[in-house]
């Protein structure tokens, strides 16, 4: 093996034989970390400007580095850049091309820097941009949900516990429950973004560097809020990626619940909604089928996102300080989490505004299953009966109704009075689904006026 071939490597100096061909492939990350090229270049440009500021680079050297890096970005974006596996990762591919283009000044760029603080910076910059895109998509989905909530703010539907009819609610109220889940998800994402926005550059390999780097100047250029305070920690921890994946896992858990409801509601057993045809697919054998593939797939995709969270936790667990090559394994789970979250949000934000609620079916459903039984108990309490006794009396009324195949509103007054003399003609208002919803008039309740207030506040929070 000739000296020249070993020297092909950025770090070839101390080696006496070149890397095993499969090891080269096995240890490379360029196939997946190249997606951080723009952030790697931005980081290098900020570093170069700072090196010029502290007189490690001349103005001329700095200018040629900046221009060449711009050109490299162009080459990458126009598909002209030749990524090389033997150059291992995105960082060394770009640096090698820089040296190839401009020679000596290119070789000075890595002064006071290591790939360890470089990669820790790149991932943060990349993820920070993704957080912003994802937050915008979350907001778009919230807007879509709010649109349905507004349209259906007083549409009655059965609310469930144990998937058994429980009490009357409104579709608007149900939609606002989804909205609340996403509000908390956005707040988790914002926390994650705030915590990751601290700059590792200046940590170098693990201990810092003897050069008097102006870290603040680099951070300002890259939009970092703070400088990392401990170089060992800054180059080694991937807790910010774990935190993002944990945000994503909770979001997908929420979206899987929404999905499950859409799947149920679209079924012939519920018939609460119609999903738009363009978001469904058919069966190759059963001509009548219209399958809710989008919500099913989103429900299914929660699995891989949960898996990525566990992958990253396991990857980080027990790692001694500081950087270890294990950390190269952070990228694929993180990137797939980002892609999956973006896909799920996009398809939901596109689909949700076109979900049609079937008012006739909902009206039938809300009047089945004794959804106003609790209202009857509350009515008895308002007439002076103790709640436990009221519960017992209503239980008997339900039993009678079941035996006769009737709803509670269909029992006559004499039957009610046989159960309790306090029951009067006014009981029928209480037994109506609309009256039931109307009566839950407190903050957070399902009364349409309350839901309207929730909706207005939510609208204001989005604008
Ligand atoms: N490709 C590497 C990674 O993703 C970059 C950092 C390499 N550092 C090192 N000392 N080998 O983690």
Instruction: Looking at the structure, tell me whether residues 281 and 399 fall in a common domain.
Output: no
Instruction: Looking at the structure, tell me whether residues 103 and 134 fall in a common domain.
Output: no
Instruction: Looking at the structure, tell me whether residues 236 and 331 fall in a common domain.
Output: yes
| Region for 389 from its dihedrals, namely left if φ exceeds 0, alpha if ψ lies in -120 to 50, beta otherwise | alpha
Contacts of 441 (CB under 8 A, 6+ apart): 447, 449, 450
List the chain residues with pLDDT less than 50. Answer: 1-2
Assess whether 283 carries a catalytic annotation. yes
Tell whether 223 is covered by a domain. Answer: no
pLDDT for res 1: 42
- Asked whether 182 and 142 are in contact (CB, 8 A), the reply is yes
Q: Which atom of ligand 1 is nearest to the CA of 29?
A: 1
Q: How far is the CA of 9 from the centre of ligand 1 (A)?
A: 14
Domain that holds residue 50: 19-111
Q: How far is the CA of 200 from the centre of ligand 1 (A)?
A: 14
pLDDT for res 463: 86
Looking at the chain, the number of H-run helices and the number of E-run strands are 21, 6
Instruction: Looking at the structure, tell me whether residues 130 and 276 fall in a common domain.
Output: yes
Instruction: Looking at the structure, tell me whether residues 351 and 442 fall in a common domain.
Output: no
pLDDT for res 7: 52
Q: Whose CA is nearest to atom 11 of ligand 1?
A: 325
- Asked whether 63 and 49 are in contact (CB, 8 A), the reply is no
Show the ligand 1 pocket: residues with CB < 6 angstroms: 29, 33, 89, 115-116, 119, 323, 325, 327-328
Domain boundary among 111, 140, 160: 111
Q: Provide the β-strand partners of residue 198.
A: 226
Instruction: Looking at the structure, tell me whether residues 259 and 354 fall in a common domain.
Output: yes
Give the CATH number of the domain where residue 77 resides. Answer: 1.10.275.10
Give the CATH number of the domain where residue 351 resides. Answer: 1.20.200.10
Q: Report the residue among 10, 115, 127 best suited for mutation to probe ligand 1: largest number of ligand atoms under 8 A from its CB.
A: 115
Angstrom distances, CA of residue 445 to CA of 261, 427, 451, 454: 21, 21, 7, 10
Q: Which of 31, 187, 267, 283 is catalytic?
A: 283
Both ends of the chain: CA-CA distance in Å? 65
pTM higher than 0.85: yes
Q: How far is the CA of 204 from the centre of ligand 1 (A)?
A: 12
Assess whether 162 carries a catalytic annotation. yes
Q: Report the residue among 328, 331, 332, 334 best suited for mutation to probe ligand 1: largest number of ligand atoms under 8 A from its CB.
A: 328
Q: How far is the CA of 307 from the centre of ligand 1 (A)?
A: 23
């Amino acid at each position: 093996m000739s000296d020249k071939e070993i020297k092909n490597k950025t770090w070839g100096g101390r080696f006496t034989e070149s890397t095993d061909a499969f090891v080269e492939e096995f240890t490379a990350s360029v196939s997946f970390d190249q997606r951080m090229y723009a952030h790697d270049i931005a980081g290098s440009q900020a570093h170069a400007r700072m090196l010029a500021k502290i007189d490690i680079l001349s103005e001329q050297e700095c200018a040629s580095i900046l221009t060449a890096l711009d050109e490299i970005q162009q080459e990458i974006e126009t598909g002209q850049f030749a990524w090389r596996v033997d150059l291992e990762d995105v960082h060394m591919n770009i640096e090698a091309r820089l040296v190839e283009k401009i020679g000596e000044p290119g070789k000075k760029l890595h002064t006071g820097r290591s790939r360890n603080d470089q990669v820790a910076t790149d991932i943060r910059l990349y993820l920070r941009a993704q957080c912003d895109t994802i937050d915008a998509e979350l907001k778009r989905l919230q807007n879509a949900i709010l649109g349905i909530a507004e349209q259906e703010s007083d549409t009655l539907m059965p609310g469930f516990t144990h998937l058994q009819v429980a009490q009357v609610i409104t579709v608007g109220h149900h939609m606002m429950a989804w909205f609340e889940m996403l509000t908390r998800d956005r707040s988790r994402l914002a926390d994650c973004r705030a915590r990751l926005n601290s700059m590792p550059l200046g940590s170098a390999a693990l201990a810092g560097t003897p050069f008097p780097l102006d870290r603040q100047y680099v951070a300002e250029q890259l939009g970092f809020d703070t400088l990392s305070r401990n170089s060992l920690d800054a180059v080694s921890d991937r807790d910010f990626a774990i935190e993002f994946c944990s945000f994503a896992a909770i979001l997908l858990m929420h979206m899987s619940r929404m999905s499950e409801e859409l799947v149920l509601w679209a079924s012939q057993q519920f018939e609460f909604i119609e999903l738009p045809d363009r978001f469904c697919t058919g069966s190759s054998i059963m001509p009548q089928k219209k399958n809710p593939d989008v919500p099913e797939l989103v429900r299914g995709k929660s699995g891989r996102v949960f898996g990525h969270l566990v992958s990253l936790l396991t990857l980080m667990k027990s790692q001694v300080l500081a950087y270890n090559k294990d950390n190269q394994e952070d990228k694929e789970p993180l990137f797939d989490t980002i892609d999956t979250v973006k896909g799920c949000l996009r398809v939901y934000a596109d689909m949700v505004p076109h979900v049609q609620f079937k008012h006739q079916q909902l009206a039938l459903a809300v009047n089945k299953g004794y959804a106003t039984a609790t209202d009857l108990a509350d009515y008895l309490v308002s007439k002076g009966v103790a709640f436990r006794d009221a519960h017992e009396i209503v239980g008997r009324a339900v039993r009678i109704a079941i035996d006769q195949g009737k709803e509670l509103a269909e029992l006559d007054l004499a039957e009610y009075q046989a159960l309790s003399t306090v029951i009067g003609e006014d009981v029928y208002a209480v037994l109506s689904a609309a009256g039931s919803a109307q009566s839950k008039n407190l903050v957070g309740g399902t009364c349409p006026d309350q839901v309207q207030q929730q909706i207005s506040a939510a609208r204001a929070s989005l604008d």
